[in-house]
Amino acid sequence: MNAKTRVGFIGLGAMGRGAAANLLAKGYEVVGCDLRADALTWLGSQGGIPATSLSEMARQVQIVVCFVVNSRQTEAVLFGDGGLVGQLSAGAVFIACSTMDPAYVQELEVRLAQHEISLIDAPVTGGAAGAERGTLTIMGAGAPEPFALARPVLQAIGSSVYHLGPAGSGARMKVLNQLLCGVHLAAAGEALALAKRQGLPLDLTLEILSSGAGASWMLADRGPRMIEGEFESVTSAVDIFVKDMSLVLDATREARFPASLAHAAYLAFLATSARGLGAKDDSAVTTNYDVAL
């Protein structure tokens, strides 16, 4: 795939913008589609090509990167009114970067193949910061030939690109990733809430915990927002983790696997959402423990 290939891009949110910016910086022409006018304005300001509809985008590209939130939005993008299926030409490659149920992903591959569209199952991790830096870890899966076509695009947005096997394998790996992320995030929130209750200096607490054996990526990234109580600037919402931890629990039930820590983290996010904070930044999970204490 040469450097002037046009790539379709759907979902210009916190992570999507970083990924799209890296594609542009590395010479790709990006035709973007998003429901929000401000996202399309942003894309145009970066040198991308805003598309007012999925059909307009589909006419211009053979490969599409999709950064929407979940399977429901993915389904609408592909099979909803004005969706890509029936618009993309034969041989097109659809790269799904969302966190989704592995069973849905496997079924989706079969459905898209009926329309001569190849699915690349490629969830990512690394957060908005990783998307901006182009250092995402990409848990890729899919048939070898379309994956080879997708790989240069994936390498433009991620520093570690893996091929795990058939479609669904990437989704399964992302579920494991979210299990750890959810547990680490909830544990960080619990620890900082306890430090607050004990009257410890929170800035020093975060510095010390981040420098020792108890450190985690989630503590370092979300910790500052937790101690500042700044939950309005959303990079990932509480309800995203309610959804993701639900996928984790689905996987544990299917495997008959007693994942008690995953259940505890799920309940922490669910309780935070139930208190009306579902749309706040996921670091707000610390307030659940603050209340509980």
Is the Cβ–Cβ distance between 187 and 170 less than 8 Å? Answer: no
**Nearest-CA neighbor of 248 among 181, 153, 169?**
181
Q: Which residues contact 180 (CB under 8 A, 6 or more apart)?
A: none
Distance from C-alpha of 135 to C-alpha of 184, rounded to nearest angstrom: 21
In the set 174, 196, 243, 280, the catalytic residue is 174
- Residue 125 phi/psi, 5° resolution? -145, 155
For residue 243, indicate whether it is catalytic.
no
The amino acid at 259:
A
Task: Calculate the alpha carbon distances from 189 to 183, 227, 229 in Å.
Answer: 10, 9, 11
SS3 8: strand
- DSSP state, residue 281: B
The secondary structure of 174-237 as a DSSP string is: HHHHHHHHHHHHHHHHHHHHHHHHHT--HHHHHHHHHHSTT--HHHHHHHHHHHHT--SS-SSB
**Nearest-CA neighbor of 93 among 158, 2, 7?**
7
* Positions marked catalytic: 174
